[in-house]
């Protein structure tokens, strides 16, 4: 499974690191990512404008992305849902507990 994490901070780094531990995950794209996410196993930083929803959708389709994790504080995160194979998981500062991938 390929996953796209939107954002560039420590929260997105932590999410990508935890998600990468799941054996069902093949690749994690982090847009735009940071120096930390660039070094994580299974992670690849991508130059993608996270405010450009058509670009996000096109990237997700082209890279067989099954899940988009919105770690950044984006006002327009709901409009990414134009991608019919997408599960959107917006994250907030109030997120608690562990991160896991449901079957």
In this structure, is residue 95 part of a structural domain?
no
pLDDT in tens, 1-17: 999 998 888 888 999 99
Task: With respect to residue 44, please indicate whether it lies within any of the assigned structural domains.
Answer: yes
Q: State residue 102's pLDDT score.
A: 44
Q: The domain that contains 18 carries what CATH number? A: 3.40.50.20
DSSP string, 34-64: -TTGGGSTTEEE----TT-HHHHHHHHHHTT
User: Does 101 map to a domain?
Assistant: no
Tokens 């959107």 — which residue? 88
If one compares 87 and 52, the residue with the highest pLDDT of the two is 52
Residue position matching structure tokens 């994790």: 69
- 25 has a pLDDT exceeding 90: yes
| Dist. CA 54–CA 29, nearest whole Å | 17
The number of distinct structural domains making up the chain is 1
Cα 1 versus chain centre, distance:
12
Q: Look up residue 97 and give its DSSP letter.
A: S
Query: Does residue 99 lie in a domain region?
Result: no
Residue 35 lies in a domain: yes
């Amino acid at each position: 499974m390929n996953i796209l994490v939107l954002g560039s901070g420590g929260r997105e780094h932590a999410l990508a690191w935890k998600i990468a531990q799941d054996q069902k995950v093949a690749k994690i794209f982090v847009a735009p990512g940071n120096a930390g996410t660039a070094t994580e196993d299974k992670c690849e930083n991508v130059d993608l404008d996270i405010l450009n929803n058509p670009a996000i959708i096109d990237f997700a389709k082209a890279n067989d992305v099954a899940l988009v994790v919105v770690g950044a504080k984006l006002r327009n995160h709901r409009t990414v849902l134009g991608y019919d194979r997408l599960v959107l998981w917006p994250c907030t500062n109030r997120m608690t507990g562990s991160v896991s991938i449901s079957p």
